[in-house]
Every structure is written in structure tokens, then in C-alpha cells.
Structure 1
Amino acid sequence: MNQTTNKRGRVGYGADAALRRSRISRGIALLVLGMSCAGLTQAQSIATQNAMAKTAGEGAPATESTVINLIHLLVKRGVLTEKNAEDLIAEAQAEAAQAKHAQAQAVSAAPNAAVVNAPTQPGDVAVPYVPQVVRDQIRDQVKQEVVAQAKAENWAQPNTFPDWVSRLTFSGDMRVRDEFEFFSPRNVTGVTNFAAINAGSPYDINPNTSTSLPPTLNTTHDRDNVLSVRARLGVTAVISDQITAGIQLASGDNDGPTSTTNTLGADFARANIWLNQAYLKYAPVPWLSITGGRFDNPFFSSDLVFSNDLEFDGVAANFKRLLPGRDDITLFGTLGAFPIQYSSDSFLAQNPDVPGGTIRWMLGGQFGAEWKINDENKLKGAIAYYDFMNLRGSLSAPCALYLGATSCSTDNDAPASMQKGNTLIALRDVIQNPALAPGLTPDPQYFGLAYNFRLFDAKLEWDTKLADRYKLRLDGEYVRNLAYNANSALSAASLPVNNYNSTSSTVTTGDYQSGANGYMFKATIGEPNTLEKGQWNFSLTYKYLQPDAVLDALNDPDFNLGGTNAKGYILGVQYAVANNAWLQARYLSAREVYGAPLSIDVLQLEMNARF
């Protein structure tokens, strides 16, 4: 059998369902025919006996309304489709019209009638009168036969499922990707992987005592046929007219925030499944909703600032409504508060002198409008402000690790998630061991951000048509970190440890380069979302992102293989091979904005499907 599941979670069985509906239709048709014939004969008999009491136009016979009510009840209970019901009602009305016509003929012929219900065709049998008891038997017999057949063949029946099942909606998507990563032979080598250091043990940066090289990023060896999958499955429950709840599970190599991709080829080991969404949404009025928990990005933005796979933890309020007095302009906006990282109780207990706040937050606000200029042109734009609070790292209080201390007062300033690009500083002020010769005290370090991030973001999107035929979407976005100040980083107690325009072991502050600006332009020809068979699009994107324009932990993980300090272009093509299934190819070419040479090109070939 071809099993199918609808959006409400009810299960049908493809061709068998159609067969059952056909059988129901035939059964109901028999019932209609039987009742209509009974009504006809009764009408003829009554007309003969009481010709002057009624006229032909006094309304539909009782059987007509009874049958129609029965059909509507079966539709309501889900036994018949609307189309089947319309056909049966038309059939019932036709039979009723025939009965009225016969009644009118009987009335006109009554004064001179010698024969009641005389045969009109050779072989016809005249039925002078069908008693009520006989008509009831015909109706009950047809009904019993239809119900018995429905039970025997397990047709869909009303009230089979509890009410809560009808309030659940399931959704999901799948992606299979083949990726190729290409590195320029001129790329710099030995790029420190600071994310790996912060995720593990601190690294000793004292060259006199360090016994190993720091973990580094691959910058020279191409990687072919990196197969991966992404799978997400969610359920949304309607609790009431104003409250909904959602839960989604997703794949992923780790619990990082920017990707739910799971790389294949790990000796056929099973993949991880993570809780990707868990939220409650309250909509007190149609134009306002408040969501709490873990949920999709509530802001109108691109992957220049936030990865497309990024989910937000916290609370957000969204509004969307027409501008008063206008039906072509819609206003929208979002306010939200999102916790990023907490200090653990054990760390706080060991370090009572922790400076600054113990919770890192992002507060965000956005306001925008969508203007439907005409049938072919639509403009949508918004400005936003994102304040990442307490993210900047600071040098710790003097830390005597040689006396047995296991942590320093600002170790918690090390970001829990990082990609690459942001300017970093060393966090620990390690005290020299007086028992050792100068310069021989190990200096194990964690690393934190050199700047806070207070982002101003402006985004504009225009939908139009070329030659009144091809859809065209133009996207643009600009972002600036208002908290960036190179002088403050260079005058701090702990100087930056990266983003120097030099590969030498000795660098000066004059070699330091960074910036606070980023922008993106994108043009898409064709259907922006290829969800119906035969739809397609081509896209061209240019990105420019200075090292400290945005938080590198949260933006696109594919361009430049994640992070900031990159510029370049993206070519893309999509084609829908079926409804809700499409092929996609992208070529992403990036190189450094500042610093040593680092060029990374990525080719992605993938198949996507959603349900």
C-alpha cells in the first residue's frame, strides 16, 4: 500500500482510500435512489387522493433535505470529500426535481384519472403505493450494508483518533551534500586554531617552556568528496487559539551554533541528534506574538551576521500589521533578549574576584516595513541594533598557577564558540615562579575577544521582474560594529595576538590590522524559493567582512569555511526536480581582507527535500 500522512498526522492509504470513498459514494447513491423513489411513489399516491390540497411548487420533498443533511454529515465526519458530496447533492436534487414533476403530472391528471401510476413504457411495473414501513426497511437495509462494509474493510471512521492528534503538525527536511575544499598553494601555514585551545586545555605560549606546537588550521591541503547530511524533524502543537508549542530535533557533528551538518565517513558510526528547537509561542492578538525557549532567528537578516542554521535561545516579541489607512504597506519589528553564556557555579566559587558580569547577553531590536508597490514590485527593508553584552575579554588578576591554582579570574571570558577572524587577546596574567630562572615559568593561556560587539545593521530586499517574465530579487545588507576601536585594543594591558600583517615571529603594533565594516550584495534571477517542480534560479553574491565587523562565532560557516576577515563571491544555481525537492550547486570563493594570504574556495553539490 502507498501510505500517506497528512499535516494533521492522520493516516490514509493512497489508492485504497480512493476506493473506499468510491464505495461510500455508491452506497450513498443507492440510499439516495431508494429514498427518492420511495418519495416519488408516495407523492404520486398522495397527489391522486388529495389533488386539490397541494400544488407542485410547495418545496422540496422531505427526502431531499434528509439526504442532503446526511451527505453534509458524512463530509463533516471525514467520510466523503467535498467533491463527492457535491456530486451526490446534485444527484439528490435531480431525483427530487423528477419527483416534483411526477407530482405535478399526478395532480393535473387526478380529476380524470382512471389508473394510478399507469406504466409509461413497455415492461414498466406500476406501483400504486409504497407504505412507510417498506420505505423505512429500504433505508435501514442500505444503511446497514454500507456501515457493515466500512467496518469489514476498515474504512476511515469518525472519532478514530483522539482530539489532540488533530492539533499536531509534523514537518522536516533533508539534505545530502558533496563538498570540495580548495586551498591556494600561496596560503600561509601555521594558523593557530584558537577555538580548539579554548575548547580544551590552555596552551603554553612561552617558547622557553612549551613542549608542543599549538593546534593549527588546515590551509594548504585540498579536500575532495566530503559527504555530509543534514536532517531535521519537528512537531508543532496547537495548545489553544493563542498558544502553540514546537519541538525540533536535528543532526550535527557537535553542539556548535552555526551548523546542523553531520559529516559522513566516520567508520559508519551513528550520527548525533540534538535538540534544535523547543519553544512556546503566545499570540494575544493576530498581529503580535511572544516566543520563549529555543527557536528560529526572529530577525530579518542574512548569513552575513547570523548563520542560516542558527537558533536563538531566549525571548522575542514580533509584531506585523498593516500601516493604518494603507493596504500596501506592512510594518514589522522584533525585540528580544538572548542569553549567550553563563559562568558556572564552580568557577565563581573558585574565583571570587571575577570582574564584570557573569552572564553574556545579546539584546536585539529591529524595525522595518514591506511595501507592495504593485503586482510586480515589492520592497522590504529594516534597520536593527544588536548589543552583545560582556563579551570582551579582560586580563585576569595576578594568577599564581605555580601555587596550585587551577584557573584564573577571567578564564570564563574565553568564548564557548568560535570560528576564526575576530581579534583576540590572552586572558591570564600569570605570576612568575620565583624558584625558577626568569623566563622559565610556563604561561598556559586561554584567549578572549579584544572588542565588544554593538552592531548596527541595515538590510534591503527588492523583488521585481525582468521583461515582465523573470523574477529578480536584489538583496543588500550593511553592518558596522560600533564598539570597534583599534586604539583601545592596542593600549590594553593584553595586546592582540592575531590579525597582524606579518608572518614574522616578532611583530609590532604597527603590523596590526582590523576593521568594523561588512556588507553583502546578492542578485537572484528566477524563483527565490524553488519549491514547485520545474522552478529554478541563478544567484550571484559578493561579501566583504572585516575581522571585527560581526561576531565570528555566529555567521555563515561555509563562506571562507566560517568566520570573518574574508571577501569574495558566491555563484549558485537551483532546480526543483519535484515539489519540495530541489538540486543545488554553489561555488564560494574567498580570500583574506587583511593579514597573511589565505584563499579558500568551496564547491557544494547537494540534494534537498522538505515535507
Structure 2
Amino acid sequence: MSRQLQQRATIRSQCLRAVSLTAIIALSGLSATAQSGDLPDKDAQILELQQRLSAQEERLARLEALLESAPQPVNPAPMREETQRLATSRVNGIEPTTASPALPKLSVSGDARLRYEHNNASDGRRSDSRGALRARLAARYQFSPSFEIGARIVTGDPDDPNSADVSLSNFADDLQVSLDQLYVKKSFGSLSLTGGKFANPFRRTDLVWDGDVNPQGIAAQYVAYDNNVARLAGNVLYFPIERSVVGPDSTARGGQITLDTQASDKWNFGLAAGYYDYEIEAMATANAGDTRTNRLGSDGAYISDFDLFDIIASVNYDGLGGRWPISLAAEYVENLGADDYDTGYMLSASAGQTATPGSLSVDYAYHVAEADAVFAAFAQDNIPLGSNYLQHAVGLTYALTDHIDLGANIYAYRLKDIELGGLPSTDWQQRVRFNLVAEF
């Protein structure tokens, strides 16, 4: 029984007891009067009793009417997931976290991944296999609803910004662990400021930004409009890359505008347009893993500037039931600072989800990136090439339990512009990965 029904029953019971008590008292008085022989007007007393009973019934009716008109307690309906986060998670292939107003002051999360990888070379070259693992542990302390500090430690080489994997080798040497995030975040209503080393604030895919790259510096996000049907927001970032005491620093500045709409309970649309301006002057700590497949001059400096215009569009459809959401995405990037070899694009499709045990998701993506279309130091590392490649990627993930997934990925890739080099072979290469991922 609901609380309101219980209150109504209690009031009715109390009123009925009052009516009954009044009747008993009145009848007792009437009986006593009759026995004493002092009954002046029996009919008048009966009339008075009836009037009292009628008054009590009217009072009960008024109380019930007042209870009926009182505000009714309701159970809040589950709010729809923000369109931006739907689009972001499906384009990025990650499940972003959402802060809760009731979040405890300290929260801890993490994941561990075991991987087997096989690389199939062509032209009779030797194939290669390896085991690898990755672990991440993050903590966040909420000083107030608008102010937090966070940090994360990861395995992997601290000199590699776009990978936290550790190969199982080196005579069983212990694992390297480093701090890849340390930040403070302050919110002022619709404006949020973040400083330190933090998760990428931009909507992204692996074409331009690898998922393991955590920018450093300061970022701001402003939500200009959000009515649960449409959301307009902007992100800006200032990113110090390399400091020099003898010359100019290397820095990046970037901005992105996102627009998301929920056309119906089945259709969501997202659009993101960004511009990233790299000023690469100092390269003292850059190595071959950073420059990768971008073009370099005889002096070791980049041939091109990197002024990237990047646009991402996404469509999400939930009309086949919660088990099989469908997502489509497309991305186009052009380096306005390059004279040639300056264009890249990505097309992807996915179906399914892994939020419940026994569920399944499958995805496919096709990437094309010319040599200077992206800044290879921060681009994807699923294959050895950061740019100048063609790639097909197929993924399959199965949810074993609430927190454990089993997945497989196949990559087929080759050089795009063979005259620029970048791989020992110009034929198609294959990379196969099997992943066991546990999260908490």
C-alpha cells in the first residue's frame, strides 16, 4: 500500500471513531435522561444527535477531498542518456563516465586488459606474436559538486603517449607504472575549467586522436544550450607539447563545437567541428615513435605545418530494441598547413552493445590517412602506421559478465602512397588481437 493510501485510511478510521464516540456519548446521555424521568423533548435530542453525525460526516468528506488534491509523490522516470554522450561513446568506442550529484567524495575505478596479438607479414617475412597487458587505476576526490581533483596511474612506457601496453618479455622484468593523469576541475554553471594532465576533452576517433593520449595544459567547456532535445557546446584546449629554454616552445591550440539532437526516442544525430593548430618548434625529446610517418626534412624538422580542420558526423538508431543499437559515423580531416598529402577520412558502423551479460557488439571501420593529414604523434597506434595508410578494421566484443568482456579485432592495412615509404613491405599486412578486459 502506498503512503498516501495509508494516510487516507488512518484519517477515515480516526473520523469514524470520533463519530462513533459522539454517538455513544449522545445515546448514553439520552438514556440517562430517560431513566431520570427528565426528558423534556426526546425528538429534539434525537434531532441534535443527527445534526452532530451529519457534521462529522461533512468533516470527513472535506478531509478526504483535501487529501485527494494534495501533490502526489511520483517515481522519477529514468532520464534519457545525453545525446552527446551517446554519440561520443559510439564514435570513440569507449563508454564515458558521468558524474552524479550524489557522488561520494572519493571514487575509484580501473581496468585490466590481457591481450594476445599476432602480426602476419607478407613477402615471406617472419610473422610475429606477443602477449601484452595493460592496467589503469583512477581516483577522483569531489571537494564539492563543482570542484574535483583526479589522478590515474597506468602501465606502459611513460615516453609513449599513445599506448599503455606492456609486452610480456625482457626476462620477466617488473612492469613500468607511471602517472598519466593529474588534474583539477572547477565548474561555474555552464562553464567548466580543467587544468593539469587530463582526458581528451574533444569528441574524437582514432583517426586524429588515439584513445591513450591525455593532453596537458588547460581546457574549457561551455554548454551554450541544452533542453534535453538539442545540445550545443564548445571545447577549447591549450596544450604545451615541448618546452625549450633556448628557443620557442612547441604548443597546440584547439577548439571544437558540438551539436546534438534527439529527433525521437529512436534517432540521435551528432555533429562536431574542430580546428587544431600545432606550432612545433622544439623537438628535443621527440623520437621516431613520435614523428612516425609524417614527412621530415633533412634537418629532422617537419616538412608541413599542422593546422587540422576536423569534422565528425554520427547517427544512432535504437529502434531494434535495447539489445541492438546501431551507430554510423563519418570523419573528414584536412591539414590546412600542408601543401600536399593533407587529407584523411574514416567511415564506421557498429551494432549491438555489451552493457549486459551475454550481449554482443560488432563494428567495422575504414580509414584513409595521407602522410601529413594528421599529427602522427597523437594519432592511432592500432597499426604501426600513424599516417600514410589504408586500413580495414573489424571488431567483435562479447560480455561475459557485468564487468568482463572478451573481444577480437582484425586489422588489414598497407601504405597509401608507396613512394613515401614507411613499411618494409608495400603489400597488405594483417594484425589480429584477442582481448580479455575486466573493469571495476
> Are the structure 2 counterparts of residues 532 and 516 from structure 1 closer, same or farther at C-alpha, using a change threshold of 3 Å?
same
Q: Secondary structure at the match of 1:553?
A: helix
Distance in 1 (CA, whole Å) between partners of 2:436 and 2:2 is 42
Shift, 1:315, TM fit: 0.6
Could you say which residue in structure 2 is the equivalent of 1:382?
A: 272
Could you say which residue in structure 2 is the equivalent of 1:290?
A: 193
- For 1:198-597, what aligned pairs fall within 5 Å after superposition? 220-224=125-129, 226-285=130-189, 287-322=190-225, 328-343=229-244, 345=245, 348=246, 357-391=247-281, 412=284, 414=286, 417-418=289-290, 420-427=292-299, 447-465=300-318, 470-485=324-339, 515-527=341-353, 530-558=354-382, 560-595=383-418, 597=426
CA contact (8 A) 2:250 2:283 kept: no
Distance in 2 (CA, whole Å) between partners of 1:516 and 1:601 is 25
- For 1:48-127, what aligned pairs fall within 5 Å after superposition? 108-109=23-24, 112=28
CA contact (8 A) 1:171 1:234 kept: yes
Distance in 1 (CA, whole Å) between partners of 2:170 and 2:113 is 18
Shift, 1:546, TM fit: 1.1
Shift, 1:238, TM fit: 1.4
**TM (normalized to structure 2)?**
0.74
Q: Secondary structure at the match of 1:305?
A: coil
Shift, 1:365, TM fit: 1.0
Distance in 2 (CA, whole Å) between partners of 1:413 and 1:264 is 26
Could you say which residue in structure 2 is the equivalent of 1:176?
A: 114
Q: Give the root-mean-square deviation of aligned CA atoms.
A: 3.0
Cα deviation 1:532-580 (Å, max 9, x = unaligned)? 223321111101111111111111111x234211102001111222223
Q: Secondary structure at the match of 1:299?
A: coil
Could you say which residue in structure 2 is the equivalent of 1:607?
A: 436
Shift, 1:92, TM fit: 10
Q: Which amino acid aligns with 1:271?
A: L
Shift, 1:412, TM fit: 3.2
Structure 1 runs, 4 residues or longer, greater than 4 Å off? 86-113, 413-417, 465-469
CA contact (8 A) 2:314 2:330 kept: yes
CA contact (8 A) 1:322 1:328 kept: no
CA contact (8 A) 1:531 1:582 kept: no
Q: Which amino acid aligns with 1:521?
A: L
> Which structure's CA Rg is the greater one?
1
Q: Which amino acid aligns with 2:112?
A: M
Distance in 2 (CA, whole Å) between partners of 1:543 and 1:572 is 14
Over the matched positions of the two proteins, sequence identity in percent amounts to 26
Distance in 2 (CA, whole Å) between partners of 1:255 and 1:412 is 13
Q: Secondary structure at the match of 2:284?
A: helix
- For 1:28-39, what aligned pairs fall within 5 Å after superposition? none
CA contact (8 A) 1:250 1:275 kept: yes
Q: Which amino acid aligns with 2:407?
A: Q
> Are the structure 2 counterparts of residues 94 and 610 from structure 1 closer, same or farther at C-alpha, using a change threshold of 3 Å?
farther
Could you say which residue in structure 2 is the equivalent of 1:442?
A: none
Distance in 2 (CA, whole Å) between partners of 1:553 and 1:587 is 23
Could you say which residue in structure 2 is the equivalent of 1:198?
A: none
CA contact (8 A) 1:230 1:251 kept: yes
Distance in 2 (CA, whole Å) between partners of 1:254 and 1:589 is 28
Shift, 1:368, TM fit: 2.2
Shift, 1:305, TM fit: 0.5
Shift, 1:174, TM fit: 1.9
Distance in 2 (CA, whole Å) between partners of 1:240 and 1:367 is 28
Distance in 2 (CA, whole Å) between partners of 1:264 and 1:90 is 65
Q: Which amino acid aligns with 1:600?
A: Q
Q: Secondary structure at the match of 2:206?
A: coil
Q: Which amino acid aligns with 2:106?
A: L
CA contact (8 A) 2:266 2:319 kept: no
Q: Secondary structure at the match of 1:574?
A: strand
CA contact (8 A) 2:104 2:142 kept: no
Q: Which amino acid aligns with 2:415?
A: E
Distance in 2 (CA, whole Å) between partners of 1:535 and 1:422 is 40
Count residues in correspondence: 359
Q: Secondary structure at the match of 1:276?
A: strand
Q: Secondary structure at the match of 1:561?
A: coil
Q: Which amino acid aligns with 1:604?
A: R
Cα deviation 1:156-179 (Å, max 9, x = unaligned)? xxxxxxxxx941121222222111
> Are the structure 2 counterparts of residues 87 and 175 from structure 1 closer, same or farther at C-alpha, using a change threshold of 3 Å?
farther
> Are the structure 2 counterparts of residues 104 and 171 from structure 1 closer, same or farther at C-alpha, using a change threshold of 3 Å?
farther
Q: Which has the higher strand share?
A: 2
More deviation, 256-265/458-467: 458-467
Cα deviation 1:162-201 (Å, max 9, x = unaligned)? xxx9411212222221111111126xxxxxxxxxxxxxxx
Distance in 1 (CA, whole Å) between partners of 2:253 and 2:4 is 59
Shift, 1:104, TM fit: 6.5
Distance in 1 (CA, whole Å) between partners of 2:356 and 2:432 is 25
**TM (normalized to structure 1)?**
0.54
Q: Which amino acid aligns with 2:311?
A: A
Distance in 1 (CA, whole Å) between partners of 2:264 and 2:394 is 30
Distance in 1 (CA, whole Å) between partners of 2:148 and 2:213 is 21
Q: Secondary structure at the match of 1:374?
A: coil
| Structure 2: unaligned runs, 5 residues or longer | 30-102
Distance in 1 (CA, whole Å) between partners of 2:403 and 2:331 is 28
Distance in 2 (CA, whole Å) between partners of 1:460 and 1:317 is 22
CA contact (8 A) 1:370 1:378 kept: yes
| Structure 1: unaligned runs, 5 residues or longer | 1-85, 114-164, 187-219, 349-356, 392-409, 428-446, 487-514
Q: Which amino acid aligns with 1:581?
A: I
Distance in 2 (CA, whole Å) between partners of 1:525 and 1:544 is 22
Distance in 2 (CA, whole Å) between partners of 1:471 and 1:518 is 27
Q: Which amino acid aligns with 1:246?
A: G
